[in-house]
Amino acid sequence: MNLAERDQHVIWHPYTQMKTAALPIPIVRGEGAVLYAQDGRAYIDAVASWWVNLHGHAHPYIVRKVAEQLQTLEHVIFAGFTHAPAVELAERLLQLLPQNQRRMFYSDNGSTAVEVALKMAIQYWNNLGTPKKKVIAFRDSYHGDTFGAMAVSARSTFTAPFWPYLFEVEFVDVPVSGKEEETVKQLEAYALGGDVAAFIYEPLVLGTAGMVMYTPEVLDKLLQICRQHNILAIADEVMTGFGRTGRHFASNFVQHGPDIVCMSKGLTGGTMALGLTSCSEAIYEAFLHDDKSKTLFHGHSYTANPVACAAGLASLDLLLQEETQASISRICSRHADFAARNKSLPYIREVRQQGTILAVEFQDSTTSYFSDLRDTLYSFALDQGVVLRPLGNIIYIIPPYCITDGQLDQVYKTILGMQEVVSGDRPYPRPDQTMLHD
């Protein structure tokens, strides 16, 4: 029995209908932007393994720093204790975040970073003696799979069994081109109604919604409304952080900084699980009190794990290098050129780009994650040696920064080849596999 067959006897994979899923592809090694399978095939990791890998697989510098930390301290309880990697990582990240960010709370992943943010925001108002219950989010948003994160995400098939258990959220439309003022008016109406604790949003790019993009200018208007009506702004930078949008954080594009920022994914360069939630000094001070019931009662066994923090520090070292910043600029430029040259091609509805994120939306009505087209395009890309995870009829690239021009060309060629599949000019067999969403 090979590894893939053994897997099927013991593993339950994420976002996968196990009854119809094909055998998974065993990966035995990764190097740079390439994954190597057990059968000898190589795949360009064009989605950075769910958007986490910044610098390439098995980066020797991160490997060395993690190994060094393991020889010193692998873990220590973070209640009543501290350690240098956690303090240094917090200090360095606060220098890159919007200037109003002052404190860091560690957790394990993106969903838990969002949970912490929501609990901070809601308890903040309770601690001040002015409790507020409402939370506002974008209609097509995705913030994670834990219950609080599901509550502030779009109501969909993925969350349907849990709707009775999710707290009520007010949703506003995503302010895409031509609908900016409509969204502004919607937020203003909810703000005037009062009782709004927080507005949570993915800045500039909604990932799982299909890499839907909007401008910093309209985000600034929305944040200004939050300021005027004492609504806390929570920036979910889990996907957009660490250079993905062309700057260290998407929040660096706007004048009005958020009150709370959620981070994960690229935080450790894709090496280990780690989450962070930063906040302003005002939020932190609302929890300082002689009454211990005003404490933020939240924590995880592996909070601020020293090894994960060491990986985060190593990834940050690499991110700030001139070579990496030049690669980010190169990828941004290549994406922009691809978008300009191909946005009017047949069967392409739209090409969207923000920084290192590129999305191509095909002219097809089957936008669902359950569509045959999604599965067909996924399989087609694998056959071209490229890992892509279509969002219905939308293909996106969010690559490691080490990806070469030649590898980018192969990814671009694969996407353009999909036109023939979409048009029906190139019949392609439907894979016996259903992978739902990111």
Evaluated on CA atoms 158, 18, 57, 212, the torsion sign reads negative
Average pLDDT of the residues in 373-396: 94
Q: Which amino acid is at 313?
A: L
CA torsion angle 388 390 395 398 (round to 10): -50
Mean of the per-residue pLDDT values of the chain: 94
> Concatenated DSSP letters for 366-406?
--STT-HHHHHHHHHHHHTTEE---BTTEEEE---TT--HH
> Helix H segments across 229-305?
281-285
Q: Which amino acid is at 397?
A: I
H-helix or E-strand spanning residue 205: strand 205-206
CATH value at residue 390: 3.90.1150.10
pLDDT surpassing 90 at residue 372:
no
pLDDT surpassing 90 at residue 93:
yes
Asked if residue 3 is part of any domain, the answer here is no
User: Given pLDDT bands bounded at 50, 70 and 90, which one contains residue 368?
Assistant: low
**96, 240: one domain:** yes
Average pLDDT of the residues in 345-374: 86
The pLDDT score that the predictor gives to residue 397 is 98
> Poorest-confidence range of 123-132, 336-345, 415-424?
415-424
Which are the catalytic amino acids? 15, 142, 236, 265
Q: Which pLDDT tens digit goes with each residue over 264-285?
A: 999 999 999 999 999 999 999 9
User: Given pLDDT bands bounded at 50, 70 and 90, which one contains residue 373?
Assistant: confident
The pLDDT score that the predictor gives to residue 367 is 58
User: Given pLDDT bands bounded at 50, 70 and 90, which one contains residue 21?
Assistant: confident
The pLDDT score that the predictor gives to residue 422 is 87
- Distance in angstroms (rounded) separating the CA atoms of residues 249 and 239: 10
The pLDDT score that the predictor gives to residue 121 is 98
H-helix or E-strand spanning residue 419: helix 405-423
Residue where the block lists tokens 């020293």 = 306
Domain that holds residue 199: 63-319
The pLDDT score that the predictor gives to residue 435 is 36
**404, 277: one domain:** no
- Distance in angstroms (rounded) separating the CA atoms of residues 113 and 106: 8
> Poorest-confidence range of 32-36, 158-162, 187-191, 370-374?
370-374
**131, 280: one domain:** yes
**201, 340: one domain:** no
Task: Tell me what percent of the residues of the chain surpass a pLDDT of 70.
Answer: 96
**180, 218: one domain:** yes
**188, 245: one domain:** yes
Asked if residue 380 is part of any domain, the answer here is yes
- HSE value, Cβ hemisphere, 13 Å, CA-based, for 53: 23
Counting every residue written for the chain, the total comes to: 438
**338, 313: one domain:** no
First to last CA, the chain: 30
**312, 394: one domain:** no
Asked if residue 291 is part of any domain, the answer here is yes
The pLDDT score that the predictor gives to residue 75 is 98
> Concatenated DSSP letters for 68-109?
HHHTT-S---SSS---HHHHHHHHHHHTTS-TTEEEEEEESS
**pTM of the model as a whole:** 0.95
Q: How many domains does the chain have?
A: 2
**206, 269: one domain:** yes
Q: Which pLDDT tens digit goes with each residue over 417-435?
A: 998 888 776 666 654 433 3
Q: Which pLDDT tens digit goes with each residue over 65-90?
A: 999 999 999 999 999 999 999 999 99
pLDDT surpassing 50 at residue 39:
yes
pLDDT surpassing 90 at residue 346:
no
User: Given pLDDT bands bounded at 50, 70 and 90, which one contains residue 22?
Assistant: confident
Average pLDDT of the residues in 111-126: 98
**216, 81: one domain:** yes
- Do the beta carbons of residue 419 and residue 5 sit within 8 Å? no
Task: Tell me what percent of the residues of the chain surpass a pLDDT of 90.
Answer: 90
pLDDT surpassing 70 at residue 436:
no
Average pLDDT of the residues in 292-300: 96
Asked if residue 172 is part of any domain, the answer here is yes
pLDDT surpassing 90 at residue 234:
yes
Q: Which pLDDT tens digit goes with each residue over 304-315?
A: 999 999 999 999
Evaluated on CA atoms 60, 61, 64, 66, the torsion sign reads negative
Asked if residue 425 is part of any domain, the answer here is no
> Poorest-confidence range of 1-5, 8-12, 372-376?
372-376
Asked if residue 143 is part of any domain, the answer here is yes
Asked if residue 58 is part of any domain, the answer here is no
**335, 271: one domain:** no
Asked if residue 173 is part of any domain, the answer here is yes
CATH value at residue 133: 3.40.640.10
Q: Which amino acid is at 25?
A: I
Residue where the block lists tokens 């302003």 = 280
**228, 337: one domain:** no
